[in-house]
Amino acid sequence: MELIYNSTRNKEEKVTASQAILRGLAPDGGLYVPAFIPALDRDMKEFAGMTYQETAYEVMKLFLTDFTEEELKDCIAKAYDEKFDTKEIAPLVEKGGVYYLELFHGATIAFKDMALSILPHLMTTAAKKNHAEHEIVILTATSGDTGKAALAGFADVPGTRIIVFYPKDGVSPVQEKQMVTQKGDNTFVVGIRGNFDDAQTGVKKMFGDRKLGEELAKGGFQFSSANSINIGRLVPQIVYYVYACAKLLASSAVAEGEKINVTVPTGNFGNILAAYYAKNMGAPIGKLICASNENKVLYDFFRTGVYDRNREFILTSSPSMDILISSNLERLLYRISGEDDKKDAGLMEALASGGRYAISEEMKGELADFYGNFATMEETAKEISDVYRESGYILDTHTAVASAVYKKYVRETGDAAAKTIIASTASPYKFSRSVLTAIDKKYESMDDFALADELSALSGTKIPPAIEEIRTAPVLHRTVVRTDEMEQAVKGFLGI
């Protein structure tokens, strides 16, 4: 049975899975969602005996129904290979009674690799299936990790170009160095004078500009996205939640049917939405714990039902979560509104025009699966220090936000018995300064690469190639623009 996708803002905008991946964003500015969330057709006992690649196929085949078995398995095999430094791909590590799902074993040492390793293969396959005549231009905004993972995935992929915008002063030094040293004749990295929301708004504006779309077409190009607004990013993320639940069952850490809570450090809402989809497919997930940093727009939303981005934008030690417009929340709003596209379009219009919206009491009642809270930078640093001193395990700043929020959840609800997975979204090497100074202030004066050496000695882990390769790599991308110059930068790179 073919699963069709429609726009959250117009149910009549219907496409196949491959078309949704190719387009990225619907013409009306909405996000593509499946007509229904399919149920898992294997039980968890069966999943317990599967590899990551086998799990990926069993989950993704239910969503990407116009891909053949051969096409999908080929994409999976090319994605989850020796680029990851562990055969498990996403190992679970038990520390202090919780299970950290390590999603940072890919090429760029962040969880974005889990989906962006496969998206280029899904997209090029989709282009062939739909006889795409134009070169695909991946247009992406990043708060730090998506940019490098997308660049690594699409670099020198035939028939594609990739343009990444990032906030010039809003990412870590390692994140920036990873991006601006990226090789590939088809890659273009641009810093903007603004924050991530400015970058994301500028990208969305270009997607919705019909005149620009016509100019691109004349030049032989078409836009697509590698952001989590692309359903081709979201579907692969569902896989690791099913995989993690199955591995806990396989190790006898949980009984069959036992519910498992999931805690996710959350910015653009894609990662926790994937867990929500996994739960709705039949994975034994209980509470979805949404962890925010001091840009706590999601915490306020879950507590009040009001989403309000009209507030100070705070640069924190967890920059990938420094976001005030959580784009993927639109997919959840669509579902809890009873798939009311007009309601969703109205809420998004209110957000665009006034920066806020309020959901109905009925919609609030549909959020019972979620718990929201936040951690300050001080609380985040304390969590890194506490976990290290208690177990010797070193968390990155984003995972530490999630870990601190999980403890708040337990204190507030008393729900300490449920087994809990914490999504560990980045390697501590990516944020070594914040991590090490949380453990000991003596590290404050060291440079970033000396810190990597110290972190290796302290953790007993090898410095990842992603860090070693940028020690001496030359800077290849130096473009910095104002937000009103983003379109011109795109045109200049494409020569139109």
Q: Quick check: 484 pLDDT over 90?
A: yes
Write the pLDDT tens digit of every residue in 97-154.
999 999 999 999 999 999 999 999 999 999 999 999 999 999 999 988 899 999 999 9
Annotate 359-424 with DSSP letters as a single string: --HHHHGGGTTEEEEE--HHHHHHHHHHHHHHHS----HHHHHHHHHHHHHHHHH---SS-EEEEE
Task: Measure the CA–CA gap between 384 and 394, rounded to whole angstroms.
Answer: 7
Predicted confidence at residue 212, as pLDDT, reads 95
The phi, psi pair for 67, rounded to 5°, reads: -90, 135
Enter the tokens of residue 40.
């898992």
The one catalytic residue in 83, 95, 112, 129 is 112
Instruction: Give the per-residue pLDDT at 144.
Output: 84
Ramachandran assignment for 474, one of left (phi > 0), alpha (psi -120 to 50 degrees), beta (any other): beta
**411 class by beta-carbon count within 10 Å (0-12 exposed, 13-18 middle, 19+ buried):** exposed
Residue 466 vs residues 152, 165, 238, 376, 434: alpha-carbon distances, Å:
11, 20, 25, 28, 18
Distance CA 459, CA 381 (A): 17
pLDDT the model gives residue 145: 87
Per residue in 287-305, pLDDT (tens digit) is 999 999 999 999 999 999 9
> Does residue 102 contact residue 394 with C-beta atoms inside 8 Å?
no
3-state secondary structure of 64: coil
pLDDT given for residue 364 in this prediction: 97
Amino acid 26: pLDDT: 93
Angle between the N-to-C axes of helices 69-79 and 119-129, in degrees from 0 to 180, rounded to the nearest 10: 150
Strand 420-424 relative to strand 98-102, pairing: parallel
Rounded Cα distance, 166 and 247, in Å = 36
Instruction: Name the 3-class secondary structure at 295.
Output: coil
String of b and e for 186-213 (b: at least 16 CB within 10 Å)? Answer: bbbbbbbebbbbbbbbbbbebbeeeebb
pLDDT of residue 227: 84
CA nearest neighbour of 3 among 17, 20, 13: 17
**Please, which pLDDT band fits residue 448 given cuts at 50, 70 and 90?**
confident
pLDDT at 428: 97
Percent of the chain with pLDDT over 90: 96
| pLDDT (tens digit per residue) in 153-168 | 999 999 999 999 999 9
CA dihedral 429, 431, 432, 434 (to 10 degrees): -160
pLDDT at 285: 98
Query: Which pLDDT band, with edges at 50, 70 and 90, does 483 fall under?
Result: very high
Report phi then psi at 193, rounded to 5. -85, 85
Residues 6+ apart with CB under 8 A from 440: none
Residue 1: predicted pLDDT: 80
Q: Is 129 a known active-site residue?
A: no
- What average pLDDT does this structure show over 317-321? 94
Angle at 275 between CA 271 and CA 280, to 5 degrees: 145
pLDDT tens for each residue of 384-443: 999 999 999 999 999 999 999 999 999 999 999 999 999 999 999 999 999 999 999 999
State whether residue 34 is helix, strand or coil: strand
| pLDDT more than 70, % of the chain | 100
How does pLDDT run across 201-260, given as a tens digit for each residue?
A: 999 999 989 999 999 999 999 999 998 889 999 999 999 999 999 999 999 999 999 999
Chain segment 51-63, per-residue pLDDT in tens = 999 999 999 999 9
